[in-house]
Structure 1
Amino acid sequence: MSAANGGWGALFSGGKESSWALYQALESGRDVRTLVVVQPPATSSMYHAPAQSVIRLAARSIGLPILDVGLPVTDLEPPDLQAGVSEGQEGELEELEPALERLDVEFDGGLRGLVAGTVTSDYQADRLQSMCDRLDCAFVAPLWQADPRELAETMIDGGLTIRIVEVAGPGFDESWLGRQLDHDALTDLAALHREYGVHLLGEGGEFQTIVTDGPHMSRPITLEFEREWYGTWGRIRITDARLDASASADEDEHR
């Protein structure tokens, strides 16, 4: 793709949906040039950024620069699963739109489009589409309205290493914190879905994830963490995160 066609930005949180949407965009040949990281206020229903310390490492492994947008993350303790979308969250788009306007100026050929990992949120999809219409660029949501079980299985089988970093829903306990979202975990989530209505992708805010490895990454991320449990919800506190040096050494040996 020539520079004259412009470049793409990708909304990126480090979580499973944004990571898989990015991978799909890259596989389809889209010229993604920047990861757009929105650092939301605590009450955000538009975006989530579960582990800021990991996002920088993920970007390095992916090989793309980051554009930071918005305010620093403030934890909501405990997360409010019943919180609705408020008019105040329109301000988040007010932060994002001028940032994308800057990309339109900076990119050789302008901003061709924006990729997002939204799956079920009409609020998010509609407002991102409207924003892109105003910017005269495309909006692509490759995961939109995907079947939750099929999408989860596709991400797992596709090579994403997904870790659960926060839980705040019925049926969860401390053992979920730091657990890899693999097929066994997905089976357990399906049981929670049947009993408590937990969304298999955590779209209701029941759990948050980070991706530590995938086909779009050159090196996996190694984590050390402690669990913080508050009786009805919990999260991991990352004590150390780094790119796996052994993977780089293996690559050098095969050159």
Structure 2
Amino acid sequence: MTDTGDSEPPADGFPRDEPWVSLFSGGKDSSWALYRALEAGLPVERLVTVHPEGDSYMYHTPATDLTALAAESIGIDLVNVHPDDFEAAAATDSGAQGDRELEPLERALEGLRDDLGGLGGVTAGAVESEYQTSRIRAMADRLGCDVFAPLWQEDPRELAGAMLDAGFEIRIVQVAAGGLDESWLGRPLDREALADLERLNEEYGVHLLGEGGEFETFVVDGPHMERRIDLEFERVWEGTRGHVRVTGASLE
């Protein structure tokens, strides 16, 4: 199995004679992996969103219901996975829970491989999480396909800058870290926000891309999208953490 962390999309090394699937939450990391795959000419024919109930070790959790609008704007069919065994898995240790959380996704990909007549690979947006990446790689090995992981072990500041340079419009939809207060909910992740995050990184250790779960995002526009997503929302603050409650969403 091959994966990449190169600074430019690879010109070769990945199969293009079979369909690809993008693991897609609508957040900046999975959106960037998808964008880079499309730029590299990988034939992405499906987006797959897992909708966990409650907290998850493996998956981005907030605002995943918005991926239908994102998929419509991108122009690639979406497959939704609604696992029903996360709650039962929560009673076990974190490693076992991660394995259990992966099972519904793997079943969905097996079905897609049959429906599409093959599976060349999957895209993944992990930056530093060996916990997630090792499981996705092992799953891909079982499925006999590749993994395209263009963010893996790249410099967070350079990645964030590349996203903004490409024209990504990113909104923060959840925060859970010291230094990130209610004012961050719904805030654009722009260059001013990055400068603030760099200061918070020095003071609190907040990751510039929120890789430790400090914050979660949703991409409302980008070069891979035909139409921008307009969001209306309310802020929900719970003392030390919070999220946006989307009250309206539409394609402009």
* One-letter identity of the residue aligned with 2:166: G
Equivalent residue number for residue 98 of structure 1: 107
- Cross-structure match for 1:87: 96
Structure 1 contact 53–241 (Cα < 8 Å) conserved = no
Aligned to 2:81: 69
> Which position in structure 2 is the counterpart of 1:205?
213
The equivalent position to 1:116 in structure 2, one of 120, 124, 127, is 124
The C-alpha deviation readout for 1:6-25, integer Å capped at 9, x for no partner, is: 10001000000000100000
Are 1:26 and 2:26 an aligned pair?
no
Native 8 Å contact 1:16 1:162 kept in 2:
yes
Note the 1:21-60 alignment, pairs <5 A: 21-60=33-72
| One-letter amino acid of the structure 2 residue matched with residue 52 of structure 1 | T
**What is the deviation of 1:101?**
0.9
Alpha carbons 1:10, 1:32 under 8 Å: kept: yes
CA–CA separation in structure 1 for the residues paired with 2:67 and 2:129:
23
State whether structure 2 residue 136 is matched by structure 1 residue 128. yes
Instruction: Within 5 Å, give how 1:96-245 maps onto structure 2.
Output: 96-108=105-117, 110-244=118-252
CA RMSD, aligned part only? 1.8
Q: Distance in 2 between matches of 1:5 and 1:102?
A: 19
Q: Which moved more, 1:136-145 or 1:43-52?
A: 43-52
Aligned equivalents of 2:150, 2:49: Cα separation in 1: 18
TM-score (normalizing by structure 1): 0.87
**TM-score normalised by structure 2 residue count:** 0.88
Q: Does 1:8 align with 2:20?
A: yes
Give, in angstroms, the shift of residue 243 of structure 1.
0.1
Report SS of the residue matched to 1:111.
Answer: coil
The structural deviation recorded for 1:44 is 1.3
Inter-partner Cα distance in structure 2 for 1:217 and 1:238: 20
Rate the CA distance shift 1:86–1:31 in 2: closer, same or farther, 3 A. Answer: same
SS at match of 1:224: strand
Q: 1:14–1:50: 8 Å Cα contact kept in structure 2?
A: no
